[in-house]
Amino acid sequence: MRFLLKYWRAYRRLFFFGVSFLTMEACCDLLQPTIASRIIDIGVKNRDLNTVLSYAGIMLLVALFGAGCAVMRNLLASRVSQLFVRDLRLDLFSKLYTFSFDELGRHSAATLITRMTNDTTQLQNFANGLMRIFIKGPLLSIGSFVMVFFLNPRLAVILAVAAPLIFLTIYASMKAGFPFFARMQVQLDRNNGIIREYLSGVRVVKAFNTFNFEENRFKGSNDALTHTSVTANRVMAIFTPMITLWVNFSVIFLLWNAPPQIMAGSLRIGEIVAFINYMAQIMTSMSMIFNVYQQFIRAKASADRIGEVMNIDSACETGDYPVDKLSGAIRFEHVNFTYPNAPGYTALRDISFSVEPRETIGIIGSTGSGKSTLLNLIPGFYKPDSGSVLLDNRPVNTYDSEKLRGVVSVVAQTAQLFTGTIADNIRWGKENASMDEVIAAAKAAQAHEFIISFPLGYDTWIGQNGVNLSGGQKQRVSIARAIIRDTKILLLDDCVSAVDVETEAAIMAEINHISRDLTCILVSQRVSSLMRLPKILVLDDGGVAGIGTHEELLRGCGVYREICQSQLGSAAVEDGKAAAV
């Protein structure tokens, strides 16, 4: 849990201020039984009203001062815990940004969300309780023992016997409870994962009428969480009455043996009253400690889970080489890549090719041939297992990754839009873009016509992940988002698969015009989108099957010829070969 030291250093002064007020409050609480004993043993015994009123006035002032200290420590505890968890959540969110796609793949979205919400809340509750209750508990316990010792050393012997039994009970509760609370967090992750998956795929669930299956799946996970929670609470419930039992035994033992000592004059009534009050304070403080220890068990499990994320060293190395003079030349040299979560399957095998600055190249291949994986290596989303991905003859990881991705535009295969207006989504590519630039980018992506057909035009609100747009509309907004960016490398990953042929042709014409000033790699499943490009790379089962122009590949690449035959027909392919000859 070393990552927590940062927040300790930031807020330790406020913490100590809070503890100071807490200490003064505890001292006030400890003085009350002693003052009460003086009222009984001096004022009441001697029937001295002035003494009773004097001590009562002192007791009132002490109580008021203690109440003021309690207000201050509550305010400071709330402030420190809120600021601490605010910084922790922000740092955790920032940490996720540094993760490579590999590292994000190792942790499900559900568990990351749980760690940023539920787990951080557990730490906040513990930090708040630490300043309000946990420190006060030991202070009251130790202080009560000291006060009883000065009041009557014989009474302190009873406390000396009861205290170890109480502490052993608390230790046993911690030992028994921690595994269950750790398991509860894992079960909560599973619950969140099922809920998230159901909500994201609710249309498919309704379409295939599989709600009963989803309900049973959630019921199983929810029952497991309930069972673990009930078991944890049962274990902890055993120990709470035991603390009260030890305290009550101590009081009973005192009252049983008190009469002879009172008669002998070695024990006074006020001291008995004070002792019972101190025992009540000890019982209250031990209950405080016990409750906060329960919070500690949960917080410890949560801190371990957050630490797993915070202590990850990003696998994607980054340098500080500037990108200002990047020309856009790309070269792959014997690149091999395997996804960590699929170690038995090589996604890319011995990939070697180059793209010159301001050159446009197409990539085609069957599903699963490695097209998208290849594109993801260029901005450094993944690190190759072996070989090198070079930009201007320098490895990708020698560039500043944040600045590099500022000059590389990527249009993913699956269009991802964000909640906001259409104009806001296009401005993701260029935050300070003017409205004229937004409209120009939309026109280039053939999105302007459908956008202005909406009553609010570019101010039309897009739901989560563009739920109120069609697949083709989302793809065109994504393309506009990439076009508006001041970029040197444009990577298009089968981004026109959901549009009609006529719209695709118009988009491709605009991209061909734009790409004259930048390096462009276009992935597509359609031969018609690539056949006019000066260079086409053919992938098959993760390897390079061929590279060249459309005519060259028809003559020398069997994989490409088969793709053409399946899309264009055998006659068109033969005509193309004849024309090439």
What number is the average pLDDT over the span 166-186? 74
One fold for both 2-310 and 411-486? no
d(CA 181, CA 197): 25
Model confidence pLDDT, tens digit, residues 54-86 = 888 998 999 999 899 989 988 998 899 999 999
DSSP state of 312: P
- Give CA separation, 380 vs 138, 324, 338, in Å: 53, 17, 15
Tokens for 425, please give them: 């989504």
d(CA 176, CA 275): 32
Q: Given a cut of 90, is residue 537 above it in pLDDT?
A: yes
Q: What is the pLDDT, as a whole number, of residue 168? A: 80
Q: Where are the domains of the chain?
A: 2-310, 316-407+488-543, 411-486
**53: closest CA among 74, 32, 67, 39?**
39
- Strands laid side by side in the 543-548 sheet: 408-411, 489-493, 519-523, 360-365, 536-540, 543-548
pLDDT > 70 in the chain, percent = 90
- Count Cβ atoms within 10 A of the Cβ of residue 524 and give its class: 0-12 exposed, 13-18 middle, 19 or more buried: buried
Class of domain 2-310: mainly alpha
Model confidence pLDDT, tens digit, residues 518-528 = 899 999 888 88
The model's pTM: 0.66
Model confidence pLDDT, tens digit, residues 363-394 = 999 888 999 999 989 988 888 889 999 999 89
Class of domain 411-486: alpha beta
d(CA 559, CA 538): 8
Q: What is the CATH number of domain 316-407+488-543?
A: 3.40.50.300
Angle at 171 between CA 168 and CA 176, to 5 degrees: 125
Q: What is the pLDDT, as a whole number, of residue 581? A: 36
Model confidence pLDDT, tens digit, residues 231-274 = 877 777 777 677 777 777 777 776 776 666 666 666 677 777 77
d(CA 307, CA 317): 21
